[in-house]
Structures are given as structure tokens and as C-alpha cells.
A and B are shown apart, each in its own frame.
Chain A
Amino acid sequence: MISVYHYLILSAIIFSIGTFGVLTRKNAIVIFMCIELMLNSVNLTFIALSRHLQNMDGQIFVFFVMAVAAAEAAVGLALMIAFYRNRESIDTDDFNMLKW
């Protein structure tokens, strides 16, 4: 029988994979995909909990998270275009103009 704990553990694992990806990857678009992974693991938690607690609030939060994730992705893509136009790259190793 699959209980709410299984969902929580699964989403914790996905969240950790996302965090790990953000920390280790170099390509800004891949970093964005990892951030989406983190946010979607949160959505999984909310839906599982909403069912477990018999409470619709969790599902409402999922919609807000989705909206925020979409807005962030849109702004992120636009910023990457701006960065690419100036520097011909979206590699995080090229984030090097601003330093100590």
C-alpha cells in the first residue's frame, strides 16, 4: 500500500536531484530545468498532502506554484536572450564580469 510518506520521500528525492543539478551544472538552460524539477517536486508534495489531509488548500497552492514557475521561466528565457546577445554564451563559467 502506498501511503503519503512514499510521496513525501519521492518528492524529497526529486527535490534533492534538482538542487544537486542547480549546483553542479554549467548551462543556464539546464539549471533552469533543474529549478523546474524542484518546483514540480513541491507540487507533488502538495497534491499528495491535499489528498491525505482531505483539504483543498494544497491544490490551490499548486496552481500558484505553477504560475510562478511559468513566470520565472519566461523571465529567465528573456534574460538569457539578453545575456546571449551581449556575450554569445549562456555558460555559467562566463558569469565572470562581476567579482570581488
Chain B
Amino acid sequence: MSALELQSLLPQIILALGATTVLMLGAWYPSRKWILGGVVIALFAALSAGLMTPAVPEVGNLYSTGSYARFFVVLWSLLGALSLLLSLRYAEIHDLPGSEYCALILFAICGMSLLSAATSLIGLFLGLEAFTLVFYILIAFKREDSRGAEAGLKYLVMGAVATGFLAFGISLIYAASGSFHLPEAFAGLEQAGGMRPLGLAGWALMLVAIGFKVSLAPFHLWTPDVYQGAPAPVTGLLATGSKGAVFASLVPLFAALGPLKADLEQVLWLLAALSLLAGTFAALPQRNLKRMLAYSSVVHMGYLMIGLLVGGSEAHRALLFYLISYAFATLAAFGVLTSFSRVDDEPQEYADFRGLGYLHPRRSSLLAACLLSLAGIPPLVGFFAKFGIIAAALKGGYPGLAVIAVLAALTSLYYYLAPIVVLFMQQRDARQLRRGCRHEYFVLALCFSAILLLGVYPAPLLDLLTGILP
């Protein structure tokens, strides 16, 4: 690896080295102020990715340094910085070790940026594992909380099995094509002859692993338990960054797939439809906000899967737009939960929220706005995102999926409105929850303006996405 290559990978190196430095300094000088240091490091990485022109287009045949990859470095670094800011007060109240928490989040961001930049199956595997390993720890970060440990172990067993499937799938693709580098791996699969069935079996195993990681039905059963057991700010990053990074890496993967896609089409169709249906039906009876958001995330992954299935630059642009809108709304929703949480517990049952709209009007309305955006109510960004995906499905010749998507969106109104009704229309007997602090209000305001502005004026982001798509 030459100096030029190292320089091209600078944002990721800043994140990894910064995380190590914070970890080591924190061992000698423990303080929760390190979380603020982490915010600075993440912003610095985002800046270097945004401003610097890389010297080489690809590092070590593993990671791309193109504008697509750098866009996602910026996005994940910003999301990471926001969730670090959100966690500041939370870490203080729950007495979490600051430097370790900060270092782990930075490592996670580094892994996500590597995954979104992967141009080889090795790069994909390493990026994915880099942040999943971090999340195993972060989910169980509150050591006295036995629910956290249980959620961590559940995620670990599921994630490790998925890792096994992913590695075995990659080995079969390697058997058929003899290469890990992306365009060659698929080109080799086309002319593989006798080994071609092996390669397709490898793809099937990889899809199972990806289904586990982004919680597509029928591999989504871990999602609600893990969401419920993990600390709220960690759940926020898990729901947005870790799933988003996998989809960001899948877009170039599927663009390189070529004629092979015809073989996978039915499986992808089934995954998308099942996620939409299973997520919707499981979300309907939920009375716990975190579990409801978990099942609704399964539905959102179904929408993203439609974008992937349709293919072509327009559908992929709709997918990325959807991903970003989903990320901001979800992060803000978990941000509100974070800022409500007290020493003993995080409020998440609907009963805890009864009449809260009058006690804490600003944060309650913000939560309502996030839920409405996720449901796809017009002035907010979620509407355009859903519209883009459904329009792409119709144009791409998948009317069946479009119908299912519309029905899922309509049904989703019920489970998104249920907590809003509890917040604003029920008898007020709620206990006072924790007062917010400046950092939390700043992050929430930022997410809210993103949801609103992108909904009113999405053109700049759409243009940017058109520019970066490979």
C-alpha cells in the first residue's frame, strides 16, 4: 500500500486513529468530555472526505474512493456525530464510560464508511464485520441492565450465523469466478459453466446473510428484541447507520450484477413483499414504541428492497433518497426517546407517553413529526421518498409490488398515529420525564429541519445523488 493510497483513505484513517487515541487517553484521564472530542473527530473526517480529492480511485482493490463512497463517509460521520451529541447527557445519567463509548461509535462509523466504499467481496466482509462487532458491544453497554446483555447476546448469535452464511456464500462465488473484485466476480459467474450453480447458491447464502443484517422478513425476528434491549442512542445508530451502510454497499453491487439479476429477481421480489407484509402486520398490535419502530423498520427495508430490485439509476436514486429521509426521521425519533430517559428506565411503553404532549410539547411534537414523516404524510420528506420508490416500481414494471407498497403505506398510518393519539389526545396522568439539554435540542432541531426542508425542497439532494451514482 503506497503513501498515495493511504492519503486517499484519510477519512477512515482519521476515524480509526481518532478512536484509538480517545480510547487510550480515556484510560488515563477518564471523562465524559471525550464524547465531545469524538464529535470533533467525526466532523473532521466528514470534512476531509468532503473537501479532499483522492489521489487514486481505488485502494488496494478493496475500497473505492469515488464520490459515491465519499458521500457516504460524510453521511455516516454526520450521523455518528449527531448520535454522539445525543448520548452526552445519556452517558452522564447512566454512568457510561465516556471514552470507550466514544471510541466504539467512531469505530462503528469507520466500519460503515468502509462498507459503503467496498469494491470487493473482501472489503464488503471486513467493513460489515468491523461495525457489527462494535454493535455487539454497544448494545450491551449498560452493564447492570440484564435486558441489554440479553439483546447483545441475541444479536451476537444472529450476527455470527449471518457472518458464517456470508463467508460461505462468498466462498461459493469465489469457486465459480475465481475473483473477489466486484465486476470480475460477476463476469466470471456468467461464463463459469459447470460451477455456475455453485455461484448462484453462493448468492442465495449471501442474500440470507444480508437479510439478517438489515432485518428483511423472514430473517427479522431479532429486530424488536435488540431495539428494545439496547440503549436508545445506540438503537438510533443501529437502525439508521448499520442498515443504511449495507444498502449503500448493495447499490453498486447490484449495478455490477448485469444479466445475472434475472436469476435473482423472484427471490428479491419475495423478500421485498414479505418484509412489507410481515413488518406491517407485526407492527399493528405493538404498544411499545421501540418495538413498533423495529417492525416499521422491517417495512422500510422492504421499500428499499423494491428500489434495489427495480434497478437503474432512477430507482437507485429513489432508494438513496429514501435511505436518507428514513435515517433522519428515525434518528430523531430515537433522539426524543434518549432525551426523555431517566436513570431508572427509558420510557417506551405507550402508557408512559399518555398526555405527554402537554407536559413536553416541543419534543412530543417533534416525535409526532418524525412518525408522520415515516408514515409518508405530504409536507414531510417521507412522502417524497415513498412516492419515488412507488413511481420507480411502476415504471420498472412491478405493479404488484407497487400495490403492496401503497397498501403497506396506508396501513402504516394506523400504527404511526397510535402513539401520536396517546401523546396528545389522552387523559393527562403522565409523570414528568427528564428535561432535555442543549445538545439534545440542537440535534433534534437539526433533524427536524432536515425532515422539513428536504420535504419542501428536495431538488438539491436529488441532483447531488444523481451526480454521485456510479
Direct touching of A and B (C-beta under 8 Å): yes
Known: A38-B161, A71-B133. A82 touches B174 (CB 8 A): no
For A40, the closest partner residue in chain B by CB is: B164
On chain B, the residues within 8 Å of A65 by CB distance are: 167
Taking CB atoms, residues of chain A closer than 8 Å to B164 are: 15, 18-19, 35, 38-39, 42
User: Given that A49-B171, A98-B228 are contacting pairs, would A28 and B163 also be in contact in the complex, using a CB cutoff of 8 Å?
Assistant: no
Contact B171 A45 (CB under 8 A): yes
Nearest residue, chain B, Cβ from A61:
B122
Q: Are the CB atoms of A35 and B154 closer together than 8 Å?
A: no
Interface string of B17-50 (1 = CB under 8 A from A): 0000000000000000000000000000000000
CB distance from A85 to the nearest CB of B (A): 8
- Residues of chain A with a CB closer than 8 A to B225's CB: 98-99
What residues of chain A lie closer than 8 Å to B145, measured between beta carbons?
Answer: 86
In the complex, are the beta carbons of A57 and B179 less than 8 A apart?
yes
B174 near A46 with CB under 8 A, answer yes
Asked whether B136 lies within 8 Å of A22 as measured between CB atoms, the reply is: no
Q: How big is the B interface, by class? A: 35 or more
* Secondary structure of the B contact surface, majority rule: helix
Choose among A8, A72, A86, A87 the residue that contacts B160 (Cβ–Cβ < 8 A): A72
B167 and A82: CB pair below 8 A?
A: no
Q: Within residues 13 to 42 of chain A, which ones have a CB less than 8 A from any CB in chain B?
A: 15, 18-19, 22, 28, 31-32, 35, 38-39, 41-42
Q: With A22-B157, A42-B167, A97-B146 in contact, do A49 and B174 touch (Cβ < 8 Å)? A: yes
Contact A22 B161 (CB under 8 A): yes
Picked from A39, A53, A97, the residue with its CB within 8 Å of the CB of B178 is A53
Interface of A is mostly: helix
A18→B174 CA distance, assembly (Å): 21
Question: How far is it, in angstroms, between the C-alpha of A64 and the C-alpha of B166 when the chains are bound?
Answer: 13
Q: Is the CB of B147 within 8 A of A97?
A: yes
Q: Which 6 residue pairs are nearest across A and B when measured between Cβ atoms?
A: A86-B146, A38-B164, A98-B225, A83-B149, A42-B167, A45-B171
Residues on A facing B (Cβ under 8 Å)? 8, 15, 18-19, 22, 28, 31-32, 35, 38-39, 41-42, 45-46, 49, 53, 55, 57-58, 60-61, 64-65, 68, 71-72, 75-76, 78-80, 82-83, 85-87, 95, 97-99
Give the interface of B toward A (CB within 8 A). 122, 125-126, 129, 133, 136-137, 140, 143-147, 149-154, 156-157, 160-161, 163-164, 167-168, 170-172, 174-175, 178-180, 198, 224-225, 228-229
